[in-house]
Amino acid sequence: MSPQRLAELTSLASGIVEKTRAALPVKVGEVAGECPAVLLTMEAWSAEQEEETDEELMGLFLGRSRTEGAPAGPDEAPQILLFLDNLWAWAEEDREIFAEEVEITFLHELGHYLGLDEDEVAGRGLA
């Protein structure tokens, strides 16, 4: 992915995440503010983690959920990762589909931060 495309997608996804946060009910929005969204590429993350790339993974929640209590250290701090290259590829380079998928993926991972498991997140239409 070119640096220009990455900058464009980062800007677009950042706006979508902020708009999505703002549309949440007030109490959920306050809680959502505790969990930063990190916008990056799978390629960069897998290289940093020294792991194989997963071209199907669009987002990932890391850290402790709210139901698990406060993090004991920085490695347990909650964060939502959104893999822009995978989202862009899944959307077949369509900006509208990309925007929809960023919102769905962010809400899906936010559900994990709130303590929901995969079935509970899917039950809310965020699979």
Quick one: average pLDDT of 90-118? 94
Quick one: average pLDDT of 81-95? 97
Count of structural domains within the chain: 1
Are the C-beta atoms of 101 and 91 separated by less than 8 Å? yes
Q: Tokens at residue 24, please?
A: 């949440």
Q: Taking 90 as the threshold, does the pLDDT of residue 125 lie above it? A: no
Task: Answer yes or no: is 73 within a domain.
Answer: no
More confident residue, 122 or 99: 99
Query: In the beta sheet, which residues pair with residue 107?
Result: none
Query: In the beta sheet, which residues pair with residue 60?
Result: 81
Q: Is 37 helix (H, G, I), strand (E, B) or coil?
A: strand
pLDDT tens string 19-78: 999 999 998 888 899 999 999 999 999 999 888 999 999 999 999 998 888 888 888 999
Q: What is the pLDDT of residue 80?
A: 97
For residue 85, give the CATH number of its domain.
3.30.2010.20
Quick one: average pLDDT of 75-90? 96
- Cα separation, 92 vs 78, in Å, equals 30
**Residue 68: burial class (beta carbons within 10 Å; 0-12, 13-18, 19+):** exposed
pLDDT tens string 91-100: 999 999 999 9
Q: Can you give the residue range of the structural domain that contains 110?
A: 3-66+78-123
Q: What is the pLDDT of residue 102?
A: 97
Structural Rg of the chain based on CA atoms: 14
